[in-house]
C-alpha cells in the first residue's frame, strides 16, 4: 500500500483517530491528576577502596561482591524492621521493601539508597536510618562471627612473649652458675632458641601492626557522604513523561484503530477500489466539491461563463454516457442511487447543464415522487407535474417548464401521490417518455433510491440507459453488485456507475 493510500485512510477516519488519541490522553491526564504524589529521598554512602598487602580485598570481583552484599543487606527484612522500629512507623516490612531502591553509581565508590513515600519527611528519615544501620554493620561485614586477624595475632604475640620471657629467665639462671660443672651445651641451645623466638616475635609484631592499621582503615571504609533531606517536589507522578507517553501511545492507537476500522469497513472509498473487481462499468467520477462562497446553497455548478473541475467532471460524464463505443447514443437515461444521500439529484441537475452546454436540448423529469428535489434545484414551481400528466389531469406540454439554463426544460414531480410505484408502472408513463423524445435530444429521469423503494426498478425497462450514482463510503461492493443484478433482472439496459464525492483535488480556475 502506498503512503498516499494510508494518508487517505487517516483522512477518512480522522474522527476515529481524534477520538482515540483524545481519549487516551484524557484518561492518562485524569489518572495522573488523581494519583497520590510520592516523594523520593536519597542518602549517598561511600565505599572506600583500602589497599591491604596481606589480603587482596579490593580486586574487581571482591568489590562487586561487596557492593551486591550491601544492596541485599539494605533491602533485607532485619534492616527494614530495625529502621521501622527506630522511626516508630506503622509500615509492614513487605510494604516498605518495594519503596526502597539501592544502586551503585557506575564508575564511582558511591552507593545510593533511595526511599519513596507519600511524606517527604518519612522518606528522608527511612533513607538516613538505613544508611546509618549499614555503616554500623561494617565490622560484622569484614570480620564475621569469629576473631579478627588483629585478635589472632595479639594472642600469638602473648604466647611467644610468654615463652621468650621464660627462656630468658632460665638463661640468666644458667649464666649465674660460675662453677666448673656449668652446662655450656644447654646455654648454647637456650640462646639459639631465644634468638629464634625473638625473630618470631618481631615477625608477628610486624604483622599485628599491619593488621591494626588495616582494621583502622577498614573502620573508615564505609561512610555517609550526603544524608537524605526531605524533597520539596514529588517524584511521582511524572506529569510531563506521562503526558508525552500518552500522546505517543494515543497517536499510535489512533493510527491502529483507523486502520482496523478501515479494514472492517467494506464500503467503497476510491475509484481504484470500485474498479478492482473488474465487474462494475464506471462511467465517471465527480470530485468532492468545494463550492465557492458565492455559490453556497446552489447545487448547480455548471455555468457557461467559466470552468471548474466540477464542470469538467460533468462534461466528461456527459460524453461517457451519451457517446458509446457502438455509436448508438441513449436518449432516455434514468438516474438513481442505492442510498438516499448519494447526491443523485445534484448529479442529474449538473449533468443536464453539461449536456445542454454540448448543444443538445434536454428535458429533466422528476420521477422521484417520494422526496422531489429538482424543482428547488432548478427554481421552478411544483404545482403541476408528472403526477398530473400520468393521471391525465393536464397535458404534457402544460407541465413542461423552462429553466434558467438554456436548452434545459423540466417536468416537476407535481403533488405527491399515495402510490408512486403503481403510478409509474402505468402505460401512460411509457407514453410520456416516448412523447418527450420528440421534444428533446436527451431525457434525464430522477428516481428514489433503490435501497428503500422499487420505483427505479419499475422505470428501468422503459429507458435506454440506467446510471447508478454511488457516493464515496456509502455502499460496499456487495451492495453495488446486488443492486445492479436487480436492475439487470428487470431488463435494464446499459448499466453504468458514477462515483460521487471522489477524493480529487480541485483544479484551479478563475470562475465556476
Q: Are strands 222-226 and 39-47 parallel, antiparallel or unpaired?
A: antiparallel
Confidence grade of residue 154 (pLDDT, cut at 50, 70, 90): confident
DSSP string, 311-332: HHHHHHHHHHHH--TTS---SE
Confidence grade of residue 510 (pLDDT, cut at 50, 70, 90): very low
Mean per-residue pLDDT, 126-136: 90
Structure confidence by residue, pLDDT tens digits, 367-418: 999 999 999 989 999 999 999 999 999 999 999 999 989 999 999 999 999 8
- DSSP secondary structure code for residue 430 in this structure: H
- How many C-beta neighbours within 10 Å does residue 443 have? 25
Mean per-residue pLDDT, 457-475: 92
Which CB contacts under 8 angstroms, 24+ apart, belong to 474-478?
A: 474/267, 474/268, 474/338, 474/339, 474/341, 474/342, 475/267, 475/268, 475/338, 475/339, 475/342, 476/266, 476/267, 476/268, 477/266, 477/268, 477/273, 477/274, 477/277, 477/280, 478/266
Distance from C-alpha of 463 to C-alpha of 461, rounded to nearest angstrom: 6
Q: For the stretch 105-140, what's the b/e string if a residue is b when 16 or more beta carbons lie within 10 angstroms of its beta carbon? A: eeeeeebbbbbbbeebebbbbbbbbbbbbbeebbee
DSSP string, 133-198: HHHHTHHHHHHTTS--HHHHHHHHHHHHHHHHHHHHHHHHHHHH--STT--HHHHHHHHHHHHHHH
pLDDT of residue 64: 75
pLDDT of residue 305: 45
pLDDT of residue 505: 46
pLDDT of residue 508: 34
Structure confidence by residue, pLDDT tens digits, 161-172: 888 888 888 888
CB within 8 Å of 314: residues ≥ 6 apart = 286, 301, 302, 347, 350, 351, 353, 354
- How many C-beta neighbours within 10 Å does residue 440 have? 20
The answer to whether the CB of 375 falls within 8 A of the CB of 412 is yes
Confidence grade of residue 141 (pLDDT, cut at 50, 70, 90): low
Rg (CA), the chain: 51
pLDDT of residue 402: 94
Cis peptide before 289 (omega within 30 of 0): no
Taking all residues of the chain, what is their mean pLDDT, rounded to a whole number?
Answer: 83
Mean per-residue pLDDT, 166-188: 76
Structure confidence by residue, pLDDT tens digits, 337-354: 998 889 899 899 999 999
Handedness of CA 235, 241, 243, 246 (dihedral sign): negative
Note the pTM of the prediction, 2 decimals.
Answer: 0.60
pLDDT of residue 309: 67
Q: For the stretch 378-398, what's the b/e string if a residue is b when 16 or more beta carbons lie within 10 angstroms of its beta carbon? A: bebebebbbbbbbeeeeebee
Helix (H) or strand (E) holding 408: strand 408-411
Distance from C-alpha of 100 to C-alpha of 136, rounded to nearest angstrom: 19
Amino acid at each position: 500500500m502506498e503512503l498516499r493510500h494510508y494518508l487517505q485512510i487517516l483522512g477518512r477516519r480522522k474522527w476515529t483517530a481524534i477520538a482515540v488519541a483524545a481519549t487516551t490522553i484524557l484518561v492518562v491526564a485524569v489518572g495522573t491528576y488523581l494519583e497520590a504524589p510520592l516523594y523520593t529521598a536519597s542518602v549517598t554512602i561511600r565505599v572506600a577502596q583500602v589497599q591491604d598487602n596481606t589480603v587482596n580485598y579490593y580486586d574487581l570481583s571482591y568489590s562487586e561482591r561487596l557492593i551486591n552484599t550491601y544492596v541485599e543487606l539494605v533491602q533485607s527484612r532485619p534492616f527494614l524492621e530495625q529502621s521501622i522500629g527506630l522511626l516508630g512507623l506503622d509500615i509492614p516490612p513487605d510494604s516498605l521493601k518495594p519503596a526502597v531502591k539501592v544502586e551503585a553509581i557506575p564508575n564511582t565508590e558511591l552507593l545510593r539508597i533511595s526511599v519513596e513515600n507519600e511524606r517527604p519527611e518519612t522518606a528522608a528519615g527511612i533513607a538516613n536510618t538505613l544508611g546509618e544501620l549499614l555503616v554500623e554493620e561494617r565490622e560484622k561485614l569484614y570480620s564475621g562471627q569469629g576473631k579478627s586477624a588483629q585478635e589472632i595475632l595479639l594472642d600469638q604475640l602473648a604466647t611467644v612473649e610468654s615463652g621468650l620471657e621464660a627462656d630468658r629467665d632460665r638463661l640468666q639462671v644458667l649464666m649465674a652458675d660460675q662453677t666448673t660443672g656449668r652446662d655450656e651445651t644447654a646455654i648454647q641451645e637456650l640462646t639459639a632458641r631465644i634468638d629464634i623466638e625473638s625473630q618470631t616475635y618481631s615477625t608477628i609484631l610486624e604483622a599485628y601492626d599491619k593488621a591494626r592499621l588495616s582494621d583502622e582503615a577498614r573502620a573508615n571504609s564505609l561512610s555517609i557522604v550526603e544524608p537524605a533531606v526531605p524533597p520539596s517536589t514529588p517524584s511521582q507522578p511524572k506529569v510531563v513523561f506521562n503526558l508525552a507517553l500518552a500522546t505517543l501511545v494515543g497517536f499510535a492507537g489512533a493510527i491502529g484503530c483507523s486502520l482496523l476500522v478501515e479494514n472492517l469497513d467494506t464500503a467503497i472509498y476510491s475509484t481504484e477500489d470500485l474498479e478492482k473487481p473488474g465487474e462494475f462499468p464506471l462511467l465517471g467520477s465527480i470530485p468532492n466539491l468545494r463550492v465557492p462562497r458565492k455559490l453556497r446553497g446552489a447545487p448547480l455548478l455548471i455555468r457557461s461563463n467559466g470552468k471548474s473541475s466540477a464542470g469538467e467532471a460533468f462534461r466528461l460524464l456527459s460524453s461517457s454516457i451519451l457517446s458509446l463505443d457502438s455509436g448508438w447514443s441513449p436518449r432516455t437515461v434514468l438516474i438513481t442511487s442505492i442510498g438516499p444521500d448519494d447526491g443523485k439529484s445534484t448529479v442529474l441537475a449538473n449533468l443536464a447543464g453539461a449536456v445542454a452546454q454540448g448543444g443538445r436540448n434536454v428535458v429533466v423529469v422528476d420521477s422521484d415522487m417520494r422526496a422531489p428535489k429538482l424543482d428547488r434545484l432548478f427554481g421552478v414551481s411544483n404545482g403541476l407535474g408528472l403526477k398530473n400528466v400520468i393521471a391525465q389531469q393536464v397535458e404534457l406540454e402544460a407541465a413542461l417548464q423552462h429553466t434558467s439554463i438554456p436548452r434545459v426544460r423540466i417536468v416537476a414531480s407535481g403533488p405527491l401521490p399515495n402510490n408512486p410505484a403503481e403510478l409509474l408502472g402505468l402505460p401512460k408513463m411509457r407514453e410520456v417518455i416516448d412523447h418527450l423524445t420528440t421534444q428533446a435530444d436527451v431525457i434525464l429521469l430522477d428516481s428514489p433510491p433503490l435501497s428503500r423503494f422499487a420505483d427505479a426498478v419499475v422505470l428501468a425497462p422503459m429507458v435506454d440507459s440506467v446510471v447508478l450514482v454511488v457516493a464515496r463510503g456509502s455502499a460496499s461492493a456487495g451492495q453495488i453488485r446486488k443492486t445492479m443484478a436487480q436492475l439487470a433482472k428487470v431488463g435494464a439496459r446499459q448499466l453504468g456507475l458514477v462515483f460521487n464525492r471522489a477524493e480529487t483535488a480541485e483544479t484551479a480556475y478563475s470562475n465556476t
